[in-house]
Homo-oligomer: A and B are copies of this chain.
């Protein structure tokens, strides 16, 4: 493993300095190669599917695992789109001249070697490999055991394009030891690995965060709130509260708890209740909310739970301060929204709530790379540092200072 990663680190110097033209040419060829080898990829995927049915994995997991001709084409299209993104390396982030004439330029550079740990969906293999390559990074991918054959097939197709272009194949690599020990080893190699991105269940993320000596950008849970203020526009409030919960309940930017100002609870909860019933949403509420609608009782534990399902906790709050307090206690710092037409209250909420994304009068569901207009995303970071919220390709770069002197000494 050490020797393998030492090689990755060495290669990273070459990959970091590739021109945009070279990278985009290679990416387009990778997309073409995926299409060309579609049958091979699908047949390898069938092995994973058979094993998955035997395991047996549940239907949702099997669907995430499945590759078809269409899905392989989607993967190829995603790579072509990544090729069109603006060059992320060498952006001038800042610059100034010091009193003694040093010209200081802060420029974006690749991070180096990035380890990505993820589960099930094999398209993550091609997406992240392409994003890392476009941003001049070497990637070490650790996919799920259940997608082993699919991931190998995809990686091999992409690597063959690197080889054809006389580039080091190991720029896109699967972790050689894909066991737990392999992961444990990987996250301790801070001499060779510059960043670890864990995407997956809470247990994995907790384990990696607590044990990694390499910096980690987490993609952790989203316990998101929508607060309907006293001065909310009722129509917007109802539309957003419905959308944030039911449009796709299983994702991290879906709402888990609805907070309603006490003065509007009587007007807003009954029509909301009716609407949620149409979508089959299971509601749980505090004692006050139960005065207006007939729903189950919500416990402290409910307010602390990311359901990732069509279930919603409701709480009636005193005012915006009370709402902010609830969010600071239970929120996961992902996405939080206020619905209000009151200028000062909106500003207070946006300023005081500590989360990656704070929304005024919009659904929390917009927290993702595509909706933000960033293009393909590595994931949604719940880190507070380096990257926060939708992690686009620019978040796969760091920076250095180039200092141009004329013989200055101190």
Contacts and interface: CB of A to CB of B under 8 A. Distances in A.
Interface stretch (A140-148, A155-163, A168-176, A393-401): A393-401
Contact of A401 (B233, B389, B404, B405): B389
A372 B403 CA distance: 10
A36 to B, nearest CB: 33
Interface residues of A, number: 65
Given A357-B401, A373-B96, A362 B215 contact: no
A185 to B, nearest CB: 14
Nearest to A351: B17
A402 interface: yes
A363 B240 contact: no
A98 B351 contact: no
Given A247-B409, A363-B410, A354 B403 contact: no
Contacts of A359: 403, 405
A405 B210 contact: no
Interface string A101-119: 0101000010110000000
A249 to B, nearest CB: 13
B350 A402 contact: yes
Interface in A6-63: 13, 16-17
Interface in A180-226: 190, 194-195, 209-210, 213, 215
A410 B354 contact: no
Nearest to A104: B372
Contact of A384 (B112, B209, B355, B407): B112
A362 B399 contact: no
Interface in A355-374: 355-363, 365-366, 371-373
Contact of A209 (B13, B209, B213, B243): B213
A255 to B, nearest CB: 12
A312 to B, nearest CB: 16
Contacts of A213: 209-210
A383 B400 CA distance: 11
Given A98-B371, A410-B247, A13 B401 contact: no
Contacts of A405: 359-363, 366
Interface in A60-105: 96, 98-99, 102, 104
Given A194-B384, A389-B401, A410 B365 contact: yes
A13 B403 contact: no
A294 interface: no
A328 interface: yes
Contacts of A361: 404-408
A386 interface: yes
B410 A366 contact: yes
B402 A111 contact: no
A94 to B, nearest CB: 10
Interface string A225-249: 0000000010110011011100100
Interface of A: 13, 16-17, 96, 98-99, 102, 104, 109, 111-112, 190, 194-195, 209-210, 213, 215, 233, 235-236, 239-240, 242-244, 247, 328, 350-352, 354-363, 365-366, 371-373, 383-386, 388-389, 398-410
7 contacts: A13-B354, A194-B384, A358-B400, A361-B406, A361-B407, A384-B398, A388-B399
Q: Rank and list the top 9 A-B pairs by shortest CB-CB distance, nearest first.
A: A362-B405, A243-B409, A236-B407, A365-B410, A362-B408, A361-B405, A385-B386, A357-B401, A359-B403
